[in-house]
Amino acid sequence: MENPILVIGATGKTGRRVVARLETRGISVKAASRSGQTRFEWNDKTTWGPALDGARAVYITYYPDLAFPGAAETVEEFANLAVASGVKRLVLLSGRGEEGAQDAEQRIRNSGADYTLVRAAFFDQNFSEAFAETIQHGVLAMPGGDTVEPFIDADDIADVVVAALTDDKHIGQLYEVTGPRLMTLADVATELGDAMGRPLQYIPVTAAEYAEGLIASGFPAEEATPIAGLIAEVLDGRNSYLSDGVERALGRKPRDFAVWANETAASGVWDLAEVTS
């Protein structure tokens, strides 16, 4: 059997989807997370070597985000250790419109590994896995205003990542992955409301107001402000265009937001019963 593929952030939005796809294909996986059997923490370098031991490829997701100060340098140090440990292939999840993310991309290019860069738009799943509770109550309060964004399904991202981890034709590629159309957050609220069968109101807020909301919901204060600032930054219009990364990597179009919304609503994630039961 081939050596395993290491998936960092294996319980995250894309990581768990990548793990599931690899395992379905019978590929050996080391699923690394802060509390998993293969333990991995970016701020604890003693976990890096054991996680890398025996791995032939790595899917790299960085927490909290590549835009944070020092992230690119940390990723570079990890990539160098990975290559020195015998890892042949690195696939990095990056973010559109983030200077720090593009710095990390370049450091992966310089690592000496066979690499693929997956630069993703704002995830559909943020609305079901991060903002679900407020949506249950009929409100979507975020920075962004009338900016349009090509929201992407994390399942499409996972499909691109798995292709990059398992097929040599993706080596050296940068895939900027987006959904198939541009939407405002008001559009998102309308389509989520249609899928749920009840109204959802979009309320524009400032980054500071959004950070206050994150803290009130239990988010660590030291992360809330920079994450709120990052969301406001990437939704300032810099990413208001479509890219063809999914189609180039997979030979098919990305899934539409409305299709995802209807399927996700059927799962019950936004049902009010989840709040009142």
For 86-142, how does the pLDDT look when each residue is reduced to its tens digit (9 = 90+)? 999 999 999 999 999 999 999 999 999 999 999 999 999 999 998 898 999 999 999
Pairing of strands 139-142, 174-177: unpaired
**Is there a single domain that holds both residue 235 and residue 135?**
yes
Contact 260, 153 (CB under 8 A): yes
43 has a pLDDT exceeding 90: yes
**Is there a single domain that holds both residue 62 and residue 99?**
yes
Q: Which is it for the CA torsion 185, 187, 157, 115, positive or negative?
A: negative
Structural domain harbouring 128: 123-150+180-239+255-277
Q: Would you call 61 exposed, middle or buried from its count of C-beta atoms within 10 A (0-12, 13-18, 19+)?
A: buried
Q: CA of 226: how far to CAs of 37, 74, 98, 232, in Å?
A: 30, 18, 13, 10
How far is 28 from 171, CA to CA, in rounded Å? 20
Whether 173 maps to a domain, the answer reads: no
3-state secondary structure 219-267: CCHHHHHHHHHHHHHHCCCCCCCCCCHHHHHHCCCCCCHHHHHHHHHHC
pTM (2 decimals)? 0.95
Pairing of strands 114-120, 38-39: unpaired
Report the DSSP beta bridge partners of residue 183. 149
**Is there a single domain that holds both residue 112 and residue 128?**
no
**Is there a single domain that holds both residue 130 and residue 227?**
yes
Q: How many domains does the chain have?
A: 2
pLDDT at 273: 62
**Is there a single domain that holds both residue 116 and residue 194?**
no
Q: pLDDT digit string (tens) for 210-252? A: 999 888 878 888 889 999 999 999 999 999 999 999 999 999 9
Range list of β-strands (E), the chain:
5-8, 29-33, 38-39, 57-60, 89-95, 114-120, 139-142, 174-177, 201-204
- Nearest CA to 156 among 27, 251, 89? 251
CA 174 from centroid of its chain's CA atoms: 16
Whether 23 maps to a domain, the answer reads: yes
**Is there a single domain that holds both residue 112 and residue 192?**
no
**Is there a single domain that holds both residue 135 and residue 264?**
yes
262 has a pLDDT exceeding 70: yes
How far is 207 from 233, CA to CA, in rounded Å? 9
How far is 257 from 190, CA to CA, in rounded Å? 12
Polymer length of the chain: 277
**Is there a single domain that holds both residue 23 and residue 144?**
no
184 has a pLDDT exceeding 60: yes
